[in-house]
Every structure is written in C-alpha cells, then in structure tokens.
Amino acid sequence: MMSAPRIQSVRPLANRHLRVKFVNGVEKDYDCNPLLGLDMFQFLKSEALFKAVKVDPGGYGISWNDDADLSEYELWSNGQELTSAG
C-alpha cells in the first residue's frame, strides 16, 4: 500500500466539498456529501461547522473536532485531482 503525502492546507468549498493541498503540490477536491449519511458526520450539515475544518498537526489528516476527522490517506485516495487549465 502506498503512503499518502501529508496535507499542507485545506479549504472548505461550496456544496460540502474540500480543496486539499498536499505537500507534494497536488491539489484534490474531496466530496464530503457521502459522509453526511454517517452519524458522526451529521454536524457537517451545518455550514458554519463544516467551514471550521483544519489540518491536524503534522499534516496527517484534517479534523473538525475531537470526534470527526479524515486521514491524509482517505483524502488522497478518494479526492479528485485537479487538472491545470492549459
């Protein structure tokens, strides 16, 4: 299994998407909508709480609180890589 690069930054976007920038310069768009079906992520339905996302120390994931987080591997594996406009 390939390890994922650490996260440099995360930015909340419209429609419950995140823009995640990794330390290798790759940016990916991660759709959080599928998470809304899970009990621990119900609070993400609140726009204000969704926007409170932050990168964990060391860049090994992102989190909203002590109970809800996503690993760099999840974001790297399931995020859609952005293609640069020519």
Tokens of 7: 């996260």
In a domain, 1, yes or no: no
In a domain, 86, yes or no: no
Tally of residues, the chain:
86
Into how many domains does the chain fold?
Answer: 1
| CATH number of the domain within which 35 lies | 3.30.2020.10
| pLDDT bracket for residue 1 (50, 70, 90) | low
Query: Is the confidence at residue 55, as pLDDT, over 50?
Result: yes
In a domain, 50, yes or no: yes
% of the chain at pLDDT higher than 90:
90
Residue 1 CA to its chain's centroid (Å): 20
In a domain, 27, yes or no: yes
Strand, helix or coil for residue 50 = helix
Q: In the prediction, which pLDDT does 86 show?
A: 46
Going by C-beta distance under 8 Å and a sequence separation of 6 or more, which residues neighbour residue 40? 67, 68
- Domain around 51: 7-81
- Tens digit of each residue's pLDDT (9 = 90 or more) over 3-37: 899 999 999 999 999 999 999 999 999 999 999 99
> Tokens 């899970």 map to which residue?
38
In a domain, 2, yes or no: no
In a domain, 32, yes or no: yes
